[in-house]
Structure 1
Amino acid sequence: MNNSATTTVTTWSLEQTSPADLVPARIPDASSGIRIERAEVPSPEFSRFLYTAVGGDVTWTDRLPWPYERWRAHLERPGVETWVAYEHGTPAGYVELEAQPEGAVEIVYFGLVPQFRGRRIGGHLLTYGTARAWDLAGRWPGLEPTKRVWLHTCSKDGPHAMANYERRGFRLFDTRTEEEPDTPPPGPWPGAHPA
């Protein structure tokens, strides 16, 4: 008899099929200290830091076992970009883009470090990251121009994730529900930012 607990997880896939679909969020006031920059030098250490800092409390676990070389190979692929939001020099969140066949670009990861959530940074970061997905081919000679930007989110993500995607003009194209092992989130660490 199997006594392992499971959780029902719903995954929603959303897309934009034209740059005109993007509905921009308000740009933060200059005094907010918010800026967004591309991490142009592939850095497994920095990317793993962002992945665990943003995803530790929402059960991002798929990349935790990746060795250094797998991180490096992934980050060095043409059309993979990491855009990082900073508040007064401190990393607040990130967007990872990945070019795919037939002009598709996936927003593979998007999110904020817990202490920066709920402060209107996410809408701006998603707007900026989506715009960079639409103009990705201009930075990567040989890539097909973007025809579609897509992403997925799930019921384990933050409570405002889906609404943010929809406000930015993403449309639902698929819903999937599965049972997953009921495992506690891996971090970031006990006593980190209060829930």
Structure 2
Amino acid sequence: MSQQTPVTTYYLEMPDPEQLRGKPQPPELTVNEAVLKEFRFNRYLYQLVGEPWQWVDKLTLSDQAWQEYAERDSLRTWVAYHRGAIAGYYELERQSDGSVQIAYFGLAPRFVGKGFGGYLLTHALQSAWAWDRPRRVWVHTCSLDHPGALGNYEARGMKVYNIEED
């Protein structure tokens, strides 16, 4: 019988936009909102960015389930491009309690380690705060994620408010 490695999940929040410690935009990196919603694009981004980190939860969803998820008014998607290639993406989800969650965030494998994550997270936090003035912005990450993920969230000004061990 194989023994599973315990997974630690970190919940972080930013209750005030003044806490944001931004990173400057790298040359030739642009970030655009996917205003025209297309669930197949969200599914592709999820696979592209999540594959190295075992993002598998949504891979078995039907087209209808993906469409219901990705094309809701409460979900917005931004994509980072570097020289025409998809460098990463993030999704923001407006919550019923007046907060905004960074639902998914990450870089495409070939762009990890190039200094894009700090700016993309800065952009995500700025976009979240600009969306109907939320009471807070939050995210969760886990020990299966990129080793620099937690540090990036904290470096941008987010604070851990809960830790769970599975």
**TM-score normalised to the size of structure 1?**
0.82
Q: 2:60 matched to which residue of 1?
A: 65
Q: Which amino acid aligns with 1:8?
A: P
Structure with max Cα Rg: 1
Where 1:48 maps in the other structure, the secondary structure is: helix
Match of 1:52 among 36, 41, 47: 47
Q: 2:112 matched to which residue of 1?
A: 117
Q: 2:149 matched to which residue of 1?
A: 161
Match of 1:80 among 75, 79, 84: 75
Cα deviation 1:117-152 (Å, max 9, x = unaligned): 111111100000111111112xxxxxxx31110000
Query: Contact (CA 8 Å) 2:91, 2:104: kept in 1 or not?
Result: yes
How many residues align structurally?
166
Q: 1:192 matched to which residue of 2?
A: none
Distance in 2 separating the partners of 1:25 and 1:52: 26
**TM-score normalised to the size of structure 2?**
0.96
Instruction: Give the Å deviation of 1:27.
Output: 1.9
What 5-or-longer segments of structure 2 have no aligned partner?
none
Distance in 2 separating the partners of 1:85 and 1:167: 20
What 5-or-longer segments of structure 1 have no aligned partner?
138-144, 179-195
Runs of 4+ more than 2 Å apart: none
Q: 1:11 matched to which residue of 2?
A: 9
Distance in 2 separating the partners of 1:78 and 1:43: 12
Distance in 2 separating the partners of 1:76 and 1:156: 28
**Identity across the alignment (%):** 41
Q: 2:162 matched to which residue of 1?
A: 174
Distance in 2 separating the partners of 1:20 and 1:66: 38
Cα deviation 1:7-29 (Å, max 9, x = unaligned): 1100000000011111101221x
Q: 2:134 matched to which residue of 1?
A: 146
Instruction: Give the Å deviation of 1:4.
Output: 4.2
Distance in 2 separating the partners of 1:75 and 1:110: 14
Query: Contact (CA 8 Å) 1:79, 1:136: kept in 2 or not?
Result: no
Distance in 1 separating the partners of 2:94 and 2:44: 22
Q: 2:33 matched to which residue of 1?
A: 38
Query: Contact (CA 8 Å) 2:38, 2:71: kept in 1 or not?
Result: no
Match of 1:98 among 85, 93, 99: 93
C-alpha RMSD of the superposition: 1.0
